[in-house]
C-alpha cells in the first residue's frame, strides 16, 4: 500500500548544557523539527504524540493539540519548522512519535516521527 501523503519529518537536536544539571540528574535537550509537504494537497497538523524514553527505560508520553501552540497548515511543496525541548533524568534517551494530520479533502492520517537519540556530547564515545 502506498503512502497517501508524502510528508517528511527531519530532526536536528542538541544538548543544552547551560540549562542542565548532571549532579541533579537533569539533562536538557532542544530539537528542531522540519515538516515537509511533498504531497499534492494542503495538509494541517492537528495533534502530536511523543514517546520519550530515557536510558533507565523510563517512558513519558506527550499528547496534545498542535506544536508550540500552533496547528500549522502546509501547502504542497512547503515546509514548517519549530523548536522545542525535552528534559531527561539520564544523559542519553530517545524520542519518537507521530503527528495527526488532515488533508484539504478531509482525510485524516498519521505522519511518523522517526526515532532519534538525545545524547550529551561525548557520552557515547
Q: Which residue has the higher pLDDT, 59 or 125?
A: 59
Is residue 2 in some structural domain? Answer: no
Is residue 68 in some structural domain? Answer: yes
What total number of domains does the chain contain? Answer: 1
- Residue 9's SS3 state is strand
Is residue 77 in some structural domain? Answer: yes
Is residue 125 in some structural domain? Answer: no
Is residue 13 in some structural domain? Answer: yes
Tens-place pLDDT, residues 64-119: 999 999 999 999 999 999 999 999 999 999 999 999 999 999 999 999 999 999 99
| Predicted TM-score of the model (pTM) | 0.91
Is residue 77 within 8 A of residue 37, CB to CB? The reply is: yes
Is residue 56 in some structural domain? Answer: yes
User: Given this model, what pLDDT does residue 31 score?
Assistant: 97
Lookup: cell for 67? 506544536
Is residue 98 in some structural domain? Answer: yes
User: In which domain, by residue range, is 30 found?
Assistant: 7-119
% of residues, the chain, pLDDT over 70? 95
Domain of 75, CATH number, reads 2.60.40.1470
Nearest to 70 by CA among 78, 80, 60: 80
- Residue 77's SS3 state is coil
The conformation of residue 17, written as its DSSP 8-state character, comes to G
Q: How many CB atoms lie within 10 A of CB 112?
A: 12
User: Given this model, what pLDDT does residue 67 score?
Assistant: 96
Give the list of residues 6+ apart from residue 92 with CB closer than 8 angstroms, or none.
54, 55, 117, 118, 119, 120, 123, 124
Amino acid at each position: 500500500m502506498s503512502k497517501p501523503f508524502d510528508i517528511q519529518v527531519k530532526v536536528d537536536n542538541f544538548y543544552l548544557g547551560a540549562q542542565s544539571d548532571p549532579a541533579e540528574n537533569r539533562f536538557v535537550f532542544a530539537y528542531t523539527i522540519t515538516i515537509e509537504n511533498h504531497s499534492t494537497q494542503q495538509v494541517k497538523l492537528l495533534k502530536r504524540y511523543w514517546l520519550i524514553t530515557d536510558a533507565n527505560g523510563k517512558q513519558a508520553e506527550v499528547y496534545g493539540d498542535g506544536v508550540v501552540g500552533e496547528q500549522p497548515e502546509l501547502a504542497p511543496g512547503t515546509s514548517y519548522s519549530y523548536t522545542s525541548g525535552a528534559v531527561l533524568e539520564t544523559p542519553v534517551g530517545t524520542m519518537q512519535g507521530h503527528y495527526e494530520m488532515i488533508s484539504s479533502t478531509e482525510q485524516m492520517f498519521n505522519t511518523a516521527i522517526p526515532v532519534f537519540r538525545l545524547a550529551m556530547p561525548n557520552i557515547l564515545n
